[in-house]
Amino acid sequence: MDIFFQQIINGLVLGSMYALVALGYTMVYGIINLINFAHGEVLMVGALTSWTVVTALADSGLPGWALLLIALPCAIVVCAALNFTIEKLAYRPLRNAPRLAPLITAMGMSLLLQTLAMIIWKPNPKPFPLLLPTDPIDLGGAVISVTQILILVTTGIILLALLWLVNKTKLGRAMRATAENPRVASLMGVRPDMVISATFIIGAALAAIAGLMWALNYGTVQHSMGFLPGLKAFTAAVMGGIGNLTGAMVGGVLLGLIEAIGAGYLGELTGGVLGSHYADIFAFIALILVLTLRPSGLLGERVADRA
Amino acid sequence: MKNKIVLFLIAAAFLIALPIFAGQFGAGWVRIMASALLYVLLALGLNIVVGYAGLLDLGFVAFYAVGAYMFALLASPHLSETFEGFKAMFPDGLHTPIWLVVPLAALLAAIAGVMLGTPVLKLRGDYLAIVTLGFGEIIRVFMNNMEHPVNITNGPRGLDRIDSMRIFGFDFGKSLQIGDFTIPSVTLYYYLFLLLVVVSVVICHRLETSRIGRAWMAIREDEIAAKAMGINTRNMKLLAFAMGASFGGVSGSMFAAFQGFVSPESFSLMESVMIVAMIVLGGLGHLPGVILGAVMLAALPEVLRYVAGPLQQITGGRLDAAILRQLLIASAMIIIMLVRPRGLWPSPEHGKAAPNPIKA
């Protein structure tokens, strides 16, 4: 039973990071119908930027939480600027092009960012300093670290704030209108280009936060670290029903839980035939199952029939 | 018509003479050309799925892997070294003749294609893309981990000592001596692949103009209309997956024989992305475009390896050949799409409806 609780905690932590990244995918897809393959790389840039800031200030004698508070806005600013530029250079000129064209530029952009990160930060994995106390907190059998609590709480707050933003504010209304029909929205005084840029910036900020969390939780950063989380987060977005914000959150958390529980019990269930190495495929098997049974995702697609 | 024949003969003579000429500058160049031809084969296969039937498949490399591992298992000492029972049955190891193993690779890949296709028949463009991508990853994880408890794929270390191609006792792994003129093994492979490419181009061309091909294109343009016209969209889609995959399987077995070694590293997601990029950059659904895209993306970065040395020195080792290669591919993917969103050599428009009026 203790393992079960432990895996639930691990799954929730993992899942909340997936959820943050998934939101970026789902918002972009909801508005311009593009799988932004470079989104995972934004997470990577966020993590590496925080690493640079944190290591640069390591000798300053500041406490860990202060470093964290300095690194976070830096990462957010860098990622937001990056994502804004990517959209402007690689996606915007292709809005009226055949649908595969922006997909290819997105993949190219993902590869380009990885390569540039390799040139800037060198390819070797770098240890991320321990900024927060590492003593585990006992929860009646299962343990949780300060970092994990921080991740859960922060994600919860961000998700609520985002729901408020999208459902209650003027910008949120503009986003929903643009997702529904950009041309009609523009007749109503919404500027779709502005809204799309804003979407990319918000998505980048969420990915930057997730990147820093990822680095804190796993303790290493590298140019290739964005790829798999990006892929899984997109999977989560699709599972929840793409274009649907709540769906992305639910999908992310669910995927994290499935993976953690799967990794924890797979060896036992199969008598040691399949080990936890197979954890990575759970995401995809879950995806195939969900899409076969409910082709529009668990919570359904908000943007209805747009082929 | 006469012009066409002359052009054809010139092209044939050029392609046949090319490796002999390039061989003067070292076997490495011929090797690059041979592997570029393998990419052309793969691109032709994927073009059936994506270009003709409009099913965006981002996990194509899985079928390539199926073919390669199939050949590797049946033509390397791995199985008899690992399993006692196997050794008892085949004391000299399993050297399956290629007349059995290549069709088997094609068949197995086709079955994998149908297996992938069946659950995702109802999915549309982007959903399909992400599911196929996941499928490719699943296959890769299995290749990486199927060494416990039973060692089948030998995990990340891969399978080595794979037999070379042998047709009628003719060994492609040894150089051929005609008088005092030697044709090295790699050039022989080049000719083999060239032959396969020519056969594939003919098959693809015939497919394109056949009823099946037109049905695929109808599905690509408007699935509901195609269904209404009496096309069995389910079978047609599965057929596209199976045919495309069998091309992948054959190329995979060729790759295994050519390299003599396979490991999961050769079948990463990056390869799938590369193949998709090839056909989209070249010109989706248009054979000359697809071939151009494949040759360009496969060969250019390799050629670059030879000029990367000086650049590496200038930048103090930061920009090595591999990084430069990636940089080039990534920029090519972005720039070509921005400049020519329909590809470098797109098919001529044929009475298509105006593109969807796009929002914003």
Q: How does DSSP assign B289-342, residue by residue?
A: HHHHHHHHHHHHHHHHHHHHHHHHHHTTTSS-HHHHHHHHHHHHHHHHHHH-TT
Q: Which of B46, B50, B123, B130 is most worth mutating to test chain A (most A CB atoms within 10 A of its CB)?
A: B130
Task: Give the span between the Cα atoms of B30 and B25, in whole angstroms.
Answer: 9
Give the per-residue pLDDT at A306.
38
C-alpha span between B175 and B179 (Å, rounded): 13
Spans of chain A below 50 pLDDT: 303-307
What is the predicted pLDDT for the residue at A304? Answer: 40
Six-digit token pair at B12? 């044939």
State whether ipTM is beyond 0.95.
no
Q: Does B129 touch chain A (CB under 8 A)?
A: yes
Out of B137, B270, B280, name the one closest to residue A280 (CB). Answer: B137
Owner of token pair 């005084």: A189
Count each helix (H run) and each strand (E run) in chain B, helices first. Answer: 14, 4
Residue B219 tokens read as: 């599905």
* pLDDT for the residue B350: 58
CA atoms within 13 A on the CB side of A97: 22
Q: Which of residues 237-296 of B touch A (CB under 8 A)?
A: 269-270, 273, 276-277, 280-281, 284
Q: Which residue, B263, B75, B250, B258, is CA-closest to B173?
A: B258
* Contact call for A108 and B149, based on CB within 8 A: no
Query: Which of A111, A192, A275 lies nearest to residue B329, judging by beta carbons?
Result: A111
Collapsing DSSP to helix, strand or coil, A168 comes out as helix
Output the pLDDT for position A307. 34
Residues of chain A with Cβ-Cβ distance to B147 below 8 Å are none
Smallest CA–CA distance, residue B195 to chain A, in Å, is: 30
Distance from CA of B127 to the nearest CA of A (A): 7
Q: What's the pLDDT score for residue A273? A: 65
Q: Which of B41, B39, B50 is CA-nearest to residue B343?
A: B50
- Smallest CA-to-CA distance from A28 within A305, A303, A221 is with A303
Dihedral (Cα; B232, B234, B240, B242), 10-degree rounding: -130
B306 touches chain A (CB under 8 A): no
Judge: B130–A35 Cβ closer than 8 Å, yes or no: yes
Per-residue pLDDT of chain B (360 residues; tens, 9 = 90+): 678 889 888 988 888 888 888 777 777 888 889 999 999 999 999 999 999 999 989 999 999 999 999 999 888 888 877 777 777 777 666 777 888 888 999 999 999 999 988 888 877 777 888 888 888 888 888 888 887 777 888 888 888 888 888 777 777 877 777 777 777 888 889 999 999 999 999 999 999 999 999 999 999 988 999 999 999 999 999 999 999 999 999 999 999 999 999 999 889 888 898 899 999 999 888 999 999 999 998 887 777 766 666 777 777 666 777 788 888 889 988 999 999 998 998 887 654 555 555 544
Q: Where do the H-state alpha helices sit in B92-232?
A: 98-117, 125-145, 185-209, 211-221, 223-228
Residue A137: what are its φ and ψ, rounded to 5°?
-100, 130
Kindly list the distances between the CA atom of residue A247 and the CA atoms of A19, A150, A240, B124, in Å, as whole numbers in the listed order. 9, 23, 4, 19
* Partner A contacted by B227 (CB < 8 A): no
Say whether A118 and B323 touch across the interface (CB within 8 A): yes
Q: Identify whether the C-beta of residue A247 lies closer than 8 Å to the C-beta of residue A299.
A: yes
* Among the partner residues A118, A284, A295, nearest to B137 by beta-carbon distance: A284
Nearest by CB to B341, from A33, A97, A278: name it. Answer: A97
Q: What is the pLDDT of residue A201?
A: 96
Q: Is B332 on the interface with A (CB under 8 A)?
A: yes
pLDDT of the residue at B98:
80
Q: Name which of A35, A181, A273 is nearest B129 (Cβ-Cβ).
A: A35
